[in-house]
Structure 1
Amino acid sequence: MTHIVREVDRPGSKVNKKEVVEAVTIVETPPMVIVGIVGYVETPRGLRTFKTVFAEHISDECKRRFYKNWHKSKKKAFTKYCKKWQDDDGKKQLEKDFNSMKKYCQVIRVIAHTQMRLLPLRQKKAHLMEIQVNGGTVAEKLDWARERLEQQVPVSQVFGQDEMIDVIGVTKGKGYKGVTSRWHTKKLPRKTHRGLRKVACIGAWHPARVAFSVARAGQKGYHHRTEINKKIYKIGQGYLIKDGKLIKNNASTDYDLSDKSINPLGGFVHYGEVTNDFVMLKGCVVGTKKRVLTLRKSLLVQTKRRALEKIDLKFIDTTSKFGHGRFQTMEEKKAFMGPLKKDRIAKEEGA
Structure 2
Amino acid sequence: MSHRKFSAPRHGSLGFTPKKRCRRIRGKCKAFPRDRRSLPPHLTAFMGYKAGMTHIVREVDRPGSKVHKREVVEPVTIMECPPMVIVGMVGYAPTAKGLRTFKTVWAEHLTEECRRRFYKDWCKSKKKAFTKASRKWADEAGLALINRDLKKIKKYCTVVRAIAHTQMRLMKHRQKKAHIMEIQVNGGTISQKVDWIRQHFEKQIPVSNVFSQDEMIDVIGVTKGKGFKGVTSRWHTKKLPRKTHKGLRKVACIGAWHPARVARSVARAGQKGYFHRTELNKKIYRIGMGLQAQLEVAKAEAAKDDRDKNVLPKPKGNASTEFDLTAKNITPIGGFPHYGEVRNDYVMIKGCCMGPRKRVITLRKTLIPQIKPRSKEKIVLKFIDTSSKFGHGRFQTRAEKQAIMVGLVICLLVNPIFSGSFEEVPGTSKSRCLNVISVNKTVVKIFANILSSWGSLRVLSSYMFRCLLND
Q: Shorter-chain TM-score: what band?
A: over 0.9
Partner of residue 94, structure 1: 146
Per-residue CA distance 1:21-51 (angstroms, 9 max, x = gap): 1000000000100000111100001111111
**Aligned amino acid, residue 280 of structure 2:** I
Partner of residue 399, structure 2: 331
Alignment pair present for 1:231 and 2:283: yes
Structure 2, unaligned runs of 5 or more: 1-52, 300-311, 410-436, 446-467
Partner of residue 267, structure 2: 215
Selected match of 2:236 from 164, 181, 184: 184
Selected match of 2:369 from 287, 290, 301: 301
Selected match of 1:84 from 130, 136, 149: 136
CA-CA distance at 1:304 after TM superposition? 2.1
1:211-290 alignment runs, 5 A limit: 211-240=263-292, 241-242=295-296, 243=299, 245=313, 247=315, 249-290=317-358
Selected match of 1:310 from 338, 360, 378: 378
| Cα distance change of structure 1 residues 248 and 116 upon mapping to structure 2, 3 Å threshold | farther
What TM-score comes out, normalization by structure 1 length? 0.96
Whole-Å Cα distance in 2 between the matches of residues 345 and 200 of structure 1?
70
Per-residue CA distance 1:192-221 (angstroms, 9 max, x = gap): 111111000000011111111111000011
Q: Is the 8 Å Cα contact of residues 238 and 248 (structure 1) preserved in structure 2?
A: no
Partner of residue 321, structure 1: 389
**Aligned amino acid, residue 111 of structure 1:** I
CA-CA distance at 1:188 after TM superposition? 0.9
CA-CA distance at 1:191 after TM superposition? 1.3
Partner of residue 70, structure 1: 122
Selected match of 1:341 from 438, 450, 453: 438
CA-CA distance at 1:305 after TM superposition? 2.4
Q: Report the structure number with the largest CA radius of gyration.
A: 2
Q: Is the 8 Å Cα contact of residues 402 and 439 (structure 2) preserved in structure 1?
A: no
Q: Is the 8 Å Cα contact of residues 229 and 298 (structure 1) preserved in structure 2?
A: yes
**Aligned amino acid, residue 175 of structure 1:** G
Q: Is the 8 Å Cα contact of residues 218 and 279 (structure 2) preserved in structure 1?
A: yes
Selected match of 1:33 from 81, 85, 96: 85
Whole-Å Cα distance in 2 between the matches of residues 173 and 280 of structure 1?
24
Q: Is the 8 Å Cα contact of residues 28 and 276 (structure 1) preserved in structure 2?
A: yes
Superposition CA RMSD, Å: 1.7
**Aligned amino acid, residue 286 of structure 1:** M
Task: Give the stretch that moved more between structures: 53-62 or 302-311.
Answer: 302-311
Whole-Å Cα distance in 1 between the matches of residues 158 and 178 of structure 2?
28
In terms of fraction of residues, the more strand-rich structure is 1
Structure 1, unaligned runs of 5 or more: none
Alignment pair present for 1:18 and 2:70: yes
1:151-190 alignment runs, 5 A limit: 151-190=203-242
Number of aligned residues: 350
**Aligned amino acid, residue 338 of structure 2:** H
Q: Is the 8 Å Cα contact of residues 405 and 439 (structure 2) preserved in structure 1?
A: no
3-state SS of the aligned residue for 1:3?
strand
Per-residue CA distance 1:283-304 (angstroms, 9 max, x = gap): 1010100011000111001122
Whole-Å Cα distance in 2 between the matches of residues 26 and 306 of structure 1?
22
What TM-score comes out, normalization by structure 2 length? 0.72
3-state SS of the aligned residue for 1:10?
coil
In terms of fraction of residues, the more helix-rich structure is 2
Whole-Å Cα distance in 2 between the matches of residues 257 and 64 of structure 1?
45
Whole-Å Cα distance in 2 between the matches of residues 160 and 288 of structure 1?
25
Q: Is the 8 Å Cα contact of residues 251 and 316 (structure 1) preserved in structure 2?
A: yes
Whole-Å Cα distance in 2 between the matches of residues 193 and 333 of structure 1?
58
3-state SS of the aligned residue for 1:41?
strand
Whole-Å Cα distance in 2 between the matches of residues 191 and 6 of structure 1?
51
Whole-Å Cα distance in 1 between the matches of residues 279 and 438 of structure 2?
48
Whole-Å Cα distance in 2 between the matches of residues 327 and 141 of structure 1?
49
Q: Is the 8 Å Cα contact of residues 262 and 318 (structure 1) preserved in structure 2?
A: yes
Per-residue CA distance 1:160-181 (angstroms, 9 max, x = gap): 1101111011111111111111
Per-residue CA distance 1:44-81 (angstroms, 9 max, x = gap): 01111111000001000000001011000011111121
**Aligned amino acid, residue 341 of structure 1:** S
Whole-Å Cα distance in 2 between the matches of residues 248 and 9 of structure 1?
26
Q: Is the 8 Å Cα contact of residues 175 and 220 (structure 1) preserved in structure 2?
A: yes
3-state SS of the aligned residue for 1:216?
coil
Whole-Å Cα distance in 1 between the matches of residues 394 and 242 of structure 2?
46
Alignment pair present for 1:56 and 2:108: yes
Identity across matched positions, percent: 69
Partner of residue 56, structure 2: 4
CA-CA distance at 1:246 after TM superposition? 6.7
